[in-house]
Amino acid sequence: MTAWKCLFLLVLAAAAPVSLRADVVVGRILVKNGILFTLQADETTPQRGYLLAGEDGKILRVGYGDPPPGTRASQTLDATGKFVIPGFVSAHSHVYQAVTRGLAVDQGLEGWFKGIAPYSVGAPPEDRYYETLFGCLDLLRHGITTAFNFNDANGQPNVDIEALKGELASGIRFVHGYCLPLKGTSESRLDDFEAFYAYSRKFSRKPTFLSFALGGYSCVADDKGYTMLEGEIMAKYGLFNQAHYLEPAGAAQIDDQRARFEWFVESGELGPQLIFGHLVHADDAMLKRIAASGAAMVWNPMSNGRLGSGVADIPKMKALGIRIGMGVDGQASADIADPFENMRTGLYLVRARYEDASVLEPRDVLRFHTLGSADVIGVSDRVGSLEKGKFADFLIVDPHLMETGPVFDPYGSLVLACGTPNIERVYVGARLVVDHGGCVNPEYAHASAEAKRRIERLRTTLSAAGAPTPKP
Q: What is the pLDDT of residues 197-225, one digit of tens each?
A: 999 999 999 999 999 999 999 878 878 99
| SS3 letters across 10-25 | HHHHHHCCHHHCCCCE
Which stretches does DSSP call E strand in 327-455?
A: 329-330, 394-397, 423-428, 431-435, 438-439
pLDDT at residue 472 above 50?
no
Domain boundaries, the chain: 21-86+387-439, 88-376
pLDDT of the residue at 403: 64
Using CA atoms, how far apart are residues 150 and 173, in angstroms rounded to an integer?
Answer: 14
Using CA atoms, how far apart are residues 179 and 378, in angstroms rounded to an integer?
Answer: 18
pLDDT of the residue at 8: 40
Handedness of CA 27, 28, 32, 36 (dihedral sign): negative
pLDDT at residue 50 above 80?
yes
Q: What is the pLDDT of residues 109-121, one digit of tens each?
A: 999 998 888 877 7
pLDDT at residue 420 above 80?
yes
Q: State the average pLDDT over residues 177-194.
A: 94
Q: Are 242 and 275 in contact (CB under 8 A)?
A: yes
Q: What is the pLDDT of residues 225-259, one digit of tens each?
A: 999 999 999 999 999 999 999 999 999 999 999 99
pLDDT at residue 356 above 80?
yes
Strand partners, 93: 149, 329
pLDDT of the residue at 14: 42
Share of the chain above pLDDT 70, in %: 93
Q: Are 391 and 319 in contact (CB under 8 A)?
A: no
pLDDT at residue 351 above 70?
yes
Q: State the average pLDDT over residues 334-359.
A: 97
Fold of 21-86+387-439: Urease, subunit C; domain 1 (2.30.40)
Using CA atoms, how far apart are residues 379 and 371, in angstroms rounded to an integer?
Answer: 9
- pLDDT bucket at 361, cuts 50 / 70 / 90: very high
Burial 190-207 (b: 16+ CB within 10 A, else e): bebbeebbeebeeeeeee
Q: Are 457 and 449 in contact (CB under 8 A)?
A: no
Using CA atoms, how far apart are residues 127 and 120, in angstroms rounded to an integer?
Answer: 9
Q: Are 458 and 450 in contact (CB under 8 A)?
A: no
- 310 CB-near residues (< 8 Å, 6+ apart): 249, 280, 281, 304
Q: How does DSSP classify residue 316?
A: H
Using CA atoms, how far apart are residues 122 and 133, in angstroms rounded to an integer?
Answer: 19
Q: Are 306 and 280 in contact (CB under 8 A)?
A: no
Q: How far is CA 366 from the centre of its chain?
A: 13
- pLDDT bucket at 267, cuts 50 / 70 / 90: very high
* Alpha carbon distances (Å) from 223 to 191, 192, 278: 18, 18, 21
CATH class assigned to 88-376? alpha beta
pLDDT at residue 20 above 50?
no
Q: What is the pLDDT of residues 25-47, one digit of tens each?
A: 999 999 999 999 999 988 889 99
Backbone phi, psi, residue 251, to 5°: -60, -40
Using CA atoms, how far apart are residues 41 and 384, in angstroms rounded to an integer?
Answer: 11
Query: ∠ CA(234), CA(180), CA(189), 5° rounding?
Result: 90
Alpha helices, DSSP H, located in 368-405: 373-376
**SS3 for 304?**
helix
Using CA atoms, how far apart are residues 98 and 330, in angstroms rounded to an integer?
Answer: 7
Handedness of CA 150, 435, 400, 43 (dihedral sign): positive
- 457 CB-near residues (< 8 Å, 6+ apart): none
Calculate the dihedral angle through the C-alpha atoms of 297, 300, 306, 309, rounding to the nearest 10 degrees: 10
Q: State the average pLDDT over residues 86-104.
A: 93
Write out the H or E segment, with its range, that includes residue 446.
Answer: helix 444-464
Of 452, 465, 464, 459, the C-alpha closest to 130 is: 452
Using CA atoms, how far apart are residues 136 and 128, in angstroms rounded to an integer?
Answer: 12
**SS3 for 69?**
coil
* 311 burial level (CB within 10 Å; 0-12, 13-18, 19+): middle
- pLDDT bucket at 408, cuts 50 / 70 / 90: confident
Write out the H or E segment, with its range, that includes residue 209.
Answer: strand 209-216
Which stretches does DSSP call E strand in 57-150?
A: 59-64, 71-78, 83-86, 88-94, 144-150
Whole-model pTM: value is 0.93
Burial 33-52 (b: 16+ CB within 10 A, else e): bbbbbbbeeebeebebbbbb
Using CA atoms, how far apart are residues 405 and 114, in angstroms rounded to an integer?
Answer: 43
Of 221, 216, 170, 165, the C-alpha closest to 193 is: 216
Query: How many Cα atoms are found within 13 Å in the side-chain-facing hemisphere of 410?
Result: 20
- pLDDT bucket at 452, cuts 50 / 70 / 90: confident
